[in-house]
Chains A and B, each alone.
Chain A
């Protein structure tokens, strides 16, 4: 698609794209290229010489059980966050889609957590579930649960998933509500006339028509769980106890902080890049299909 009416100028268009091009080249392409190059190099202990080692950094990474564990953990977290947040948000959206009094107020009261930053989400939840002073932890104790996410890795993981899913409810709710409102009411009326009860109407009519939204949100939630959980993890558990909440992004960060193996950290970055490109590719294909509907 191209415009028919255009301007003629030799230099002006270059001047107009120059600022963005410069920023993108300096702060995007150059670092990305550096990461790729470094991932093929091995630096000696003093940082004096480097040798080209082909895929050694990658091979070493995949031989490292800790790395493999963090891949599995990242996917488990993503899946748990996406499923729990999506199902709760869908329930709320279906309710808010009904012709109710005060539906605008409901929407406002449900969407604002989108604006809460991940580290703040982490602070809010660790405060409520802190083993020694948390207000919810107190009740868990009273109910006989041996609650200590600072020592128990599974509990720490559950805490991260809970907090991350909480933050994502509002986003999912908003998109589900938009998706529900786009479903023609006549279809539902037809089903009602055929005698389908509300539950049946939902599963046989609404849910299938909503599937593009569900799929879109699934991808967005997975990307969110990959990257935006960093702030939540860093304020709540700092990857601990042990390494039980270290995700891929957290590992790139913490390995790099220790300043150790540059090649390995670069290889991790490249693997993450490939994962995001695949996820975004899936998302784009989906959006294109939606447009041609």
Chain B
């Protein structure tokens, strides 16, 4: 062990706490602002300590929304975000695990071309093909629908590759053993492979849930109805171009609410999160 002298250790603690302060400061300010009076904030008189409007602001944010004419309760936006994130995470895992299963455990004509067709999608995020994708979703009458929100974001290969890699490491003896027990391909998949993949699926779920919850450009384009807005799109629309009308406490409360679910997932499921993050990075 390389010994660290006490002095250097203190420096390390101090630098880390400065780092934490820098990372946490914007969020602290957001929380403080969400408990204060709008007039005070608009005058630039905001204090650095919590104000007394916590319950009032959060109640209005979640159940009513801003005072604008096209207001939408943030609770409803969170529900939309939740449905979208779950659809993306569950949908992607479901279709990927079965296609990886087919590619690893079967030999069939066009197996490799199909693998490559799926593989190439790794390369292009939805941002580079937004308008053509928008047109297709519109032609399929899927604007303002959960399917339209989720499906184009499911079309990518990360999860398939991950499961393929994992299946390759599963010992062949397992398959032979279950074949001797008389299990067919579906039985083997359900009884042996799925339980083995549980940790991988969970790690992937954590990452995909966060990515799904945080989607912005795509929902911005394809949701036109206010009641289909996700929270990320909703918060952008709360900041009016005429600054005087922006209700900052509500905006900040929305920011806090938008951060809560994914941050909660990262902190509580840290092990799975780190694992998923390291594994999905191609």
Contacts and interface: CB of A to CB of B under 8 A. Distances in A.
Interface of A: 1, 3-10, 12-14, 16-17, 19-21, 23-32, 34-35, 38, 88, 91-92, 95-96, 98-100, 106, 108-121, 123-128, 130, 132-135, 138, 166, 169-171, 174-175, 178, 185, 188-189, 192, 198, 201, 216, 220, 227, 230-231, 234-235, 249, 252-253, 256, 262, 265-266, 269, 272-273, 276-277, 280, 283-284, 287
A125 B33 CA distance: 13
A110 to B, nearest CB: 6
Interface stretch (B36-44, B49-57, B62-70, B195-203): B36-44
B255 interface: yes
B2 A189 contact: yes
Contacts of B155: 23-24, 26-28
Given A115-B263, A116-B262, A127-B33, A269 B12 contact: no
Interface in B210-256: 210, 213-214, 216-217, 220, 232-233, 235-236, 239, 243, 248, 251-252, 255
Interface of B: 1-2, 4, 8-9, 11-13, 15-16, 19-20, 22-24, 26-27, 29-30, 33, 41-44, 46, 48, 94-96, 98-99, 101-108, 111, 114, 117-118, 121-125, 127-133, 135-137, 151-152, 154-157, 160, 167-168, 172, 175-176, 184-186, 188, 210, 213-214, 216-217, 220, 232-233, 235-236, 239, 243, 248, 251-252, 255, 258-259, 262-263, 265-267, 270, 273-274, 277-278, 281-282
B133 A31 contact: yes
Contacts of A178: 278
Contacts of A265: 131
A1 B130 contact: no
A12 B236 contact: no
Contacts of A128: 26, 29
